[in-house]
Amino acid sequence: MKAVTWHGKRDVRVEEVPDPAIKEPNDAVIRITSTGICGSDLHLYEVLGPFMAEGDILGHEPMGVVEEVGPAIENIKPGDRVVIPFNISCGHCHMCDLQLYAQCETTQVREHGTGAAVYGYTKLYGQVPGGQAQYLRVPEAQFGPIKVPEGPPDERFLFLSDVLPTAWQAVADADLPEGGSVTVFGLGPIGQMCCRIARHLGYRVIGVDGVTQRLEMARRHGIEVIDASEVTDVPEEVRQRTSGRGTDSVIDAVGMEAHGSPAAKLAQTLTTMLPGAVAAPLMSHTGVDRLAALNQAIDTVGRGGVISVIGTYGGMTDPMPMLRMFDKGITMRMGQAHVRRWTSALMPLVTDESDPLGVMDLATHRMPLEQAPLAYEMFQKKSDGAVKILLQP
């Protein structure tokens, strides 16, 4: 089969690799019909090379049709249309019983002290072959796959793999009061959906970004925006719009790709140039993240407020303004999405013909799998108005 494989910084290729096969009784194999490129994939493309191996298959946002199931699988059958959550969870361990599926004890990568395995995402999360391919082996298929109805286009359902549950959890973690307000930093795919979900639930939303196309997309969905390229002090601008208080909550949907920290950016860049054996522990135990967005979130949130961090961070000793956080009485919540926890809340919204979350207005580009190298470059550079790119094998 053809698959998108990693070969180094900014070097992804479409290559022929062996077809996946059933290895365990609770496996399934699906034929991919659509798969997304996630902002987290850009971390692999740009920053997290020390945790990758040449030839790793990328991608963790797939959907498709079941081709084959192991003898223990009764919940799905060949021919079923399914979406595959990005984290691999068993559904029956202690953590899964708590609906903390991103911490599944069955698939935790204990060698690296990390949570549940993730498709196509580094040695830290199990080095499981990913979904930017023609076919995908699905472990723990007794729980993971989400069956979806025939008929509507893939885009109705594809974002159940990551974007929608991640954004829904970010809003839930923001713990907004009734009629409350939230600032969302970063209007990439996750930030866009955070804004739409929060607005759908009745909250005031202010979206912050500096990219014209992202700001325009947010405006189309009724989001109040701040253009960070034109405002010198975003937190102060938010306070001016909120009677001097700041918003009740803030969602950081940017993570370590934040602009505005040139020294940390340089540290990241230099770290990726080191041999893997040196760079991996350095990235794991040294603060190399770019914290501009998080620091702005701390400054923006009102006293007694909540910061929900859904953007990905990778450093271990990043300096935090603890005095400021303590003085303001800030609560902070973070972590990868527990995808299956939110399926029941999201399914009625993606099947609603009125499309209340605008899932049909998120992908800006749909490209064949063979053009994945170009798609990654476009997404990384935000060229041609790229906000969300889908690949179709």
Confidence of residue 46 (pLDDT cuts 50, 70, 90): confident
Average pLDDT value over all residues in the chain:
90
Confidence of residue 269 (pLDDT cuts 50, 70, 90): very low
Full set of structural domains in the chain with CATH: 2-162+338-392 (3.90.180.10), 164-334 (3.40.50.720)
What pLDDT score does 159 carry?
Answer: 98
DSSP 74-99: -S--TT-EEE--SB---SSSHHHHTT
Contact between 82 and 95 under an 8 Å Cβ cutoff? The reply is no
Q: Which residue has the higher pLDDT, 347 or 42?
A: 347
What average pLDDT does range 200-226 have in this prediction? 97
Q: What is the pLDDT of residues 252-262, one digit of tens each?
A: 998 655 333 44
What pLDDT score does 321 carry?
Answer: 84
Closest by CA position to 250, among listed 220, 221, 208: 208
What pLDDT score does 117 carry?
Answer: 97
SS3 225: strand
Report the interhelical angle of 234-241 vs 292-300 (nearest 10°): 30
Closest by CA position to 297, among listed 340, 335, 331: 331
Q: What is the pLDDT of residues 144-169, one digit of tens each?
A: 999 999 999 999 999 999 999 999 99
Give the residue carrying structure tokens 């494989």.
5
Q: Which residue has the higher pLDDT, 208 or 264?
A: 208
82: left (phi over 0), alpha (psi -120 to 50) or beta: beta
E strand or H helix that includes residue 299: helix 292-300
SS3 261: coil
Contact between 30 and 138 under an 8 Å Cβ cutoff? The reply is yes
Phi then psi for 257, rounded to 5 degrees?
A: -90, 5
What pLDDT score does 331 carry?
Answer: 96
Q: Which residue has the higher pLDDT, 54 or 313?
A: 54
With pLDDT > 70 as the criterion, what percentage of the chain qualifies? 89
Give the residue carrying structure tokens 């740009």.
46
Q: What is the pLDDT of residues 215-252, one digit of tens each?
A: 999 999 999 999 999 999 999 999 999 999 999 999 99
Confidence of residue 318 (pLDDT cuts 50, 70, 90): low
Please state, as a whole number, how many other Cβ atoms lie within 10 Å of the Cβ of residue 254.
31
Q: Cα–Cα distance between 10 and 18 in angstroms, integer?
A: 24
What pLDDT score does 293 carry?
Answer: 79
Torsional sign, CA 160, 196, 214, 251: negative
What average pLDDT does range 170-185 have in this prediction? 97
Q: Cα–Cα distance between 237 and 240 in angstroms, integer?
A: 5
SS3 168: helix
Confidence of residue 314 (pLDDT cuts 50, 70, 90): low
Locate 315 and state its tokens: 């450093």
Q: Cα–Cα distance between 349 and 49 in angstroms, integer?
A: 37
Range scoring the smallest mean pLDDT among 91-95, 191-195, 293-297, 340-344: 293-297
Confidence of residue 290 (pLDDT cuts 50, 70, 90): low
Beta bridge partners of 10: none
What pLDDT score does 51 carry?
Answer: 82
Confidence of residue 264 (pLDDT cuts 50, 70, 90): very low
Phi then psi for 228, rounded to 5 degrees?
A: -65, -15
Residues whose CB is less than 8 angstroms from the CB of residue 278 and which lie 6 or more positions away in sequence, other chains included: none
Confidence of residue 316 (pLDDT cuts 50, 70, 90): low
**pLDDT exceeds 80 at position 78:** yes
Q: Is 192 exposed, middle or buried (0-12, 13-18, 19+ CB in 10 A)?
A: buried
Locate 84 and state its tokens: 């595959």
Locate 384 and state its tokens: 């041609």
**pLDDT exceeds 60 at position 279:** no
Count Cα neighbours of 288 within 13 Å in the Cβ-side half-sphere.
19
Q: Which residue has the higher pLDDT, 238 or 275?
A: 238
What pLDDT score does 184 carry?
Answer: 98
Long-range CB contacts (< 8 A, 24+ apart) of 236-239? 238/183, 238/206, 238/300, 239/300
